[in-house]
Amino acid sequence: MRALTWFVTLLILLSHSSKTQAAVGPPASAVDSLCLSEILISTPQPYDSAQVADAQRKAEGAREAIRQGANFEDVAKKFSDGPSAANGGALGLFKRGQLPKSIEDKVFAMNVGDVTGVIRTKQGFAMLKVTECAVVSSVRGASETVEILGDTQGIDFGPYIRRIRKKIEATWYAQIPVFAQTKNGEVTIECAITTDGKLTNTRLVAGSGDEVLDRAAWAGLSQSSPFPPLPGHYTCPHLALRLHFHYNPHKAVLE
């Protein structure tokens, strides 16, 4: 198995309290990447004028609630129609060039903690929040990097992430058939770990195009549960994770 390496990025999407427009970091314009959360009020297609107007009123109401001090993540969980709603709207990391130019110009001029006004998109009416990106661990022994996005409540999750990563890796390797050990591919899976260490909300985000590789990654994760309980002084109900399993990645992926 020495020829096989894996690269797993855990995007730990945790809700956290912040005041609207409260600058808690440098302007995003000073960096080449940022992390975003979203609230999306979708509109039907084909468009119906009455439904579009209703969606806009709902979006404006949500934005006003945030302006008055409501927690962005709580509003996202309650009202957002986007796929990230369950994670408080967290979308993850974006580099320059990955967003439409009009949106990129807007969010990269904002500070961490800032929230946009209501933006009309093809999907509906959206609000974006620039969130904190924090790298807590970089473990190169197995070509792995780990990122935490959001509020960690001051807890160092490095030791915990290393423990679960070791367990997942061992279980995953055992699931890969010998004939598939030289294949290339990437599998992305999202999940959450509850306070008592149980795996929940697991879903395949992107497959490799090879069912054997997909099944091995899925089994490697699911059969690793239960994990150790989350730290007792951590008060969020779960850690939401996104894992990228890379089979025999090229050098450019490792870099």
pLDDT of residue 92: 76
Ranges of the chain with pLDDT below 70: 1-31, 133-153, 250-255
What is the chain's alpha carbon radius of gyration, rounded to the nearest angstrom? 19
> Minimal CA–CA distance to 35: which of 109, 135, 133?
133
| Full strand arrangement of the beta sheet holding 199-206 | 199-206, 185-194, 238-247
Cα 91 to Cα 100: distance, rounded to the nearest angstrom: 15
Going from the C-alpha of 230 to that of each of 48, 121, 139, 198, the distances in angstroms are 46, 38, 20, 10
pLDDT of residue 110: 93
| Tokens linked to 72 | 């962005």
Cα 95 to Cα 108: distance, rounded to the nearest angstrom: 10
- Report whether 7 contacts 253 (CB < 8 A): yes
Cα 191 to Cα 203: distance, rounded to the nearest angstrom: 6
Domains of the chain with CATH codes:
11-15+134-254 (3.30.1150), 28-131 (3.10.50.40)
- Report whether 119 contacts 103 (CB < 8 A): yes
Cα 204 to Cα 227: distance, rounded to the nearest angstrom: 19
Cα 164 to Cα 168: distance, rounded to the nearest angstrom: 6
